[in-house]
Amino acid sequence: MFLDSGPLVRLLQMHADYYPVVSGVLDFVYEKNIQVIVSSITLFEICQKAYGANASVLAREYREFFENSSNVSLCAVNGEVAVKAAELFAAAAKTNHKLTEGESLRLATAYVNGVDCILTECENFRDATDIPVVTLDEI
């Protein structure tokens, strides 16, 4: 399963509506020993928020969690991911379902790593891939 940035941000914000949903998904993942893929772009995004709030220790803790969790694999943006992201970005630009550069990189990470499903808040992912996409509102 690919865990996109949005659900993680909602979890870390302890969002009243989404915290229980994301927490429940993660509990299930650990119970069933499901492998979770996270993009290094996601780590950048949540660490950026931590540093912006002068919480450098928190940013380091995020990194340690992603690098040391038995069920979570942090996947770097390599050449294959970058080229796939460019392809996804260009294809989306030709439609009404635009993707940002970050979204394209995260989606490409999921694609290149062969995930079975994606948990996200990004509705446009559904139109950009044949990988099953589940949004927080659907859980």
- Domain with residue 24: its CATH number is 3.40.50.1010
In this prediction, residue 139 carries a pLDDT of: 87
Span 103-125, pLDDT tens digits: 999 999 999 999 999 999 999 99
In this prediction, residue 67 carries a pLDDT of: 92
Count of domains forming the chain: 1
**How many Å apart are CA 19 and CA 99, to the nearest integer?**
25
Q: Compute how many other C-beta atoms are within 10 angstroms of the C-beta atom of residue 63.
A: 15
In this prediction, residue 88 carries a pLDDT of: 96
- Domain of residue 60 covers 2-138
In this prediction, residue 134 carries a pLDDT of: 96
Q: Is a pLDDT exceeding 90 seen at residue 13?
A: no
**How many Å apart are CA 15 and CA 30, to the nearest integer?**
21
For residues 43 and 58, is the Cβ–Cβ distance under 8 A?
A: no
> Please, which contacts does 42-46 make with residues 24 or more away whose CB atoms are closer than 8 Å?
42/3, 42/4, 42/5, 42/8, 42/106, 43/74, 45/5, 45/9, 45/102, 46/5, 46/8, 46/9, 46/12
Span 43-101, pLDDT tens digits: 999 999 999 999 999 999 999 999 998 899 999 999 999 999 999 999 999 988 789 99
pTM of the model as a whole: 0.91
Comparison of pLDDT for 135 and 139, the residue scoring more = 135
